[in-house]
Structure 1
Amino acid sequence: MSLAAYVREGEVNVPSPCVAVCRVNPATQQCEGCLRTLDEISAWRVLDDEGKRAVWRVIEQRLAGVAPVDAAVDPPGSESGSGSTSQG
Structure 2
Amino acid sequence: MAVSFPAALFDFDLPPLKAARARLTDVLNHPAFSAERRQRAEQLMMTTSDSQQVWQWARLALLESERWEDAVLAWEESQTGPPAYPAYPY
> Which of structures 1 and 2 has the larger relative contact order (alpha carbons within 8 angstroms, sep 6+)?
2
Same fold (TM over 0.5): no
Q: TM-score, normalised by structure 2?
A: 0.34
Q: TM-score, normalised by structure 1?
A: 0.35
Structure whose alpha-carbon radius of gyration is higher: 2
